[in-house]
């Protein structure tokens, strides 16, 4: 066999070669079809091969693909920043464009720290996150992530940022029950701030709905209102990591809209360009920018490809596509249908402990005993077995943390928002067959 050169995620694993994608399907070079029920990595929200996006890409490439941000600006980047602000709650955001979700959360962190520096509060430079969280793979983003598996190898290089408990009601880390708990998980943030001292903390970061580290974990009612109140009381900025939840995925343009809370900063990625080109952003509210505008007038961050017109044009076309095809509404409606179908399936299969999520960000958690929510031993690799079996059948689903850090084995089901009811029926029947075979 010819030697390989491309470093793939697992070096001794066979990866089929995809030839093309159309709608919710991908096709490999052997003619096998895959129903993309994970939108890749919860990314391809408008489906594969959308002609409007390809046209927009070509149109921009015919003008100019790249201008350097310290020399020029471009119409697509300016328009995109305004469009995102118009869409976001409060409509008063600035946008800093980057290329990945990790860069977006890390930029948000840096802007938050700079905000306090420009106000002369130099000690406010720590960020609190939650256990069972994932904010990215670069060192700053990983420092803010509770994802044990992804951190493990780099622990000595990571900042030892504090973490608080996640709002994971199915397996409450505090062994309490909602609503009697009175949102003790949110109070954990208050306790941590008092312990560390608000004078040392710049921001709190959280995914509105926990993605890869837990599997579409939706917090209980009132959680974010309380979190925001705690942050404001202690003068701590609230960063919503909307990399997975943002841009229509949950049946709202931004995940935080479900909780009626406006974050001070947001990180976007994935669905922003729906996988057609790398694009991500940190959105920063006016009041966070204010001391920077009055002070140094420059954010100390940025990448060569930041705000490149090619990716900005693609993102604008994706937002137009979402609007034209009413995909926010589609995510809500198709999400309700898929959730109901998955719950019907769970009634038949004892090993499905929980089915949860909002819009088309859904998950299924597996248990060895439903009555006491007993998890499978991590060594059994239940999540991987489900994912692999589904893959063999031509169904793509996304892994959640899988039995570490207090999380159970879970898969995320997050197909493109363009999926039809017939395709959902096919998805559910393939998934049911898979789960029955593995369990
Ligand atoms: N934040 C969240 C919530 C994510 O789900 C991810 C990726 O899965 C990231 C950040 C990192 O994004 P990227 O992989 O584009 O760097």
Q: Does residue 402 surpass a pLDDT of 70?
A: no
pLDDT in tens, 68-87: 999 999 999 999 999 999 99
Q: What is the CA(63)–ligand 1 centre distance, in A?
A: 31
* Percent helix / strand / coil, the chain, rounded to 5: 40, 15, 40
Q: Does residue 403 surpass a pLDDT of 60?
A: no
Which residues, including other chains, have CB under 8 Å from residue 296's CB and lie 6 or more apart?
114, 118
Q: What is the mean pLDDT of the chain?
A: 96
Cβ–ligand 1 contact at 207 (below 6 Å) = yes
Cβ–ligand 1 contact at 408 (below 6 Å) = no
Q: Please state which architecture CATH assigns to domain 54-324.
A: 3-Layer(aba) Sandwich (3.40)
Q: What is the CA(403)–ligand 1 centre distance, in A?
A: 20
Mutational test site, ligand 1, from 43, 108, 140, 243, max ligand atoms within 8 Å of CB: 243
Q: Does residue 254 surpass a pLDDT of 90?
A: yes
Among 48, 53, 57, smallest CA distance to 18 is for 48
- Mean pLDDT calculated for residue range 15-33: 98
Cβ–ligand 1 contact at 134 (below 6 Å) = yes
- pLDDT reported for residue 376: 87
Cβ–ligand 1 contact at 279 (below 6 Å) = no
Q: Which atom of ligand 1 is nearest to the CA of 103?
A: 16
Which residues, including other chains, have CB under 8 Å from residue 16's CB and lie 6 or more apart?
28, 29, 30, 32
Mutational test site, ligand 1, from 136, 206, 209, 279, max ligand atoms within 8 Å of CB: 136
How far apart CA 149 and CA 147 sit, in angstroms, is: 6
- pLDDT reported for residue 206: 98
Instruction: Please report the DSSP string for 211-264 in residue order.
Output: -TTTSSBPPPTTHHHHHHHHHHHTT-EEEEE-TTTTTTTTSSSSGGGGGT---S
The torsion angle over the Cα atoms of residues 42, 43, 46 and 48, rounded to 10 degrees, is -110
Domain assignments of the chain as residue spans, ordered by start: 18-50+326-438, 54-324
- ipTM score here? 0.99
pLDDT bucket at 346, cuts 50 / 70 / 90: very high
Cβ–ligand 1 contact at 212 (below 6 Å) = yes
- Mean pLDDT calculated for residue range 335-348: 97
CATH number at 18-50+326-438? 3.90.1150.10
């Amino acid at each position: 066999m010819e030697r390989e050169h491309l470093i793939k995620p697992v070096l001794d694993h066979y990866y089929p070669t995809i030839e093309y994608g159309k709608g919710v399907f991908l096709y490999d070079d052997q003619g096998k079809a895959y129903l993309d029920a994970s939108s890749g990595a919860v990314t391809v929200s408008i489906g594969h091969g959308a002609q409007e996006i390809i046209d927009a890409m070509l149109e921009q490439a015919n003008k100019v693909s790249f201008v350097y941000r310290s020399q020029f600006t471009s119409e697509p980047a300016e328009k995109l920043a305004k469009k995102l602000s118009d869409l976001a709650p409060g409509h008063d955001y600035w946008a800093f464009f980057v290329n990945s979700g990790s860069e977006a959360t890390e930029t948000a962190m840096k802007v938050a720290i700079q905000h306090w520096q420009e106000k002369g509060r130099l000690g406010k430079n720590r960020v609190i996150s939650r256990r069972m969280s994932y904010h990215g793979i670069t060192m700053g983003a990983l420092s803010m992530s509770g994802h044990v598996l992804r951190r493990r190898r780099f622990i000595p290089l990571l900042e030892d940022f504090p973490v608080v408990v996640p709002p994971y009601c199915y397996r409450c880390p505090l062994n309490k029950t909602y609503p009697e708990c009175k949102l003790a998980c949110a109070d954990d943030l208050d306790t941590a701030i008092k312990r560390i001292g608000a004078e040392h903390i710049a921001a709190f970061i959280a995914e509105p709905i926990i993605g890869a580290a837990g599997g579409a974990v939706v917090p209980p009612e009132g959680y974010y209102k309380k979190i925001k109140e705690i942050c404001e009381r202690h003068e701590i900025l609230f960063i919503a990591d909307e990399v997975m939840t943002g841009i229509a995925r949950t049946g709202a343009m931004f995940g935080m809209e479900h909780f009626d809370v406006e974050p001070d900063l947001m990180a976007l990625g994935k669905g922003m360009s729906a996988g057609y080109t790398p694009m991500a952003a940190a959105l920063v509210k006016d009041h966070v920018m204010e001391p920077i505008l009055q002070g140094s007038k420059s954010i100390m961050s940025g990448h060569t490809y930041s705000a490149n017109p090619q990716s900005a044009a693609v993102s604008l076309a994706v937002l137009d596509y979402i609007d034209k095809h009413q995909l926010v509404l589609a995510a809500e409606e198709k999400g309700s249908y898929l959730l109901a179908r998955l719950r019907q399936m769970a009634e038949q299969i004892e090993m499905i402990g929980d089915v949860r999520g909002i819009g088309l960000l859904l998950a299924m958690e597996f248990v060895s005993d439903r009555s006491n929510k007993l998890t499978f031993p991590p060594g059994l690799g239940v999540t991987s077995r489900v994912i692999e079996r589904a893959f063999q059948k031509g169904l793509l689903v996304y892994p959640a943390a899988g039995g570490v850090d207090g999380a159970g084995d879970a898969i995320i089901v997050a197909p493109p928002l363009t999926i039809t009811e017939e395709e959902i029926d096919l998805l559910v029947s393939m998934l049911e067959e898979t789960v029955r075979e593995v369990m």
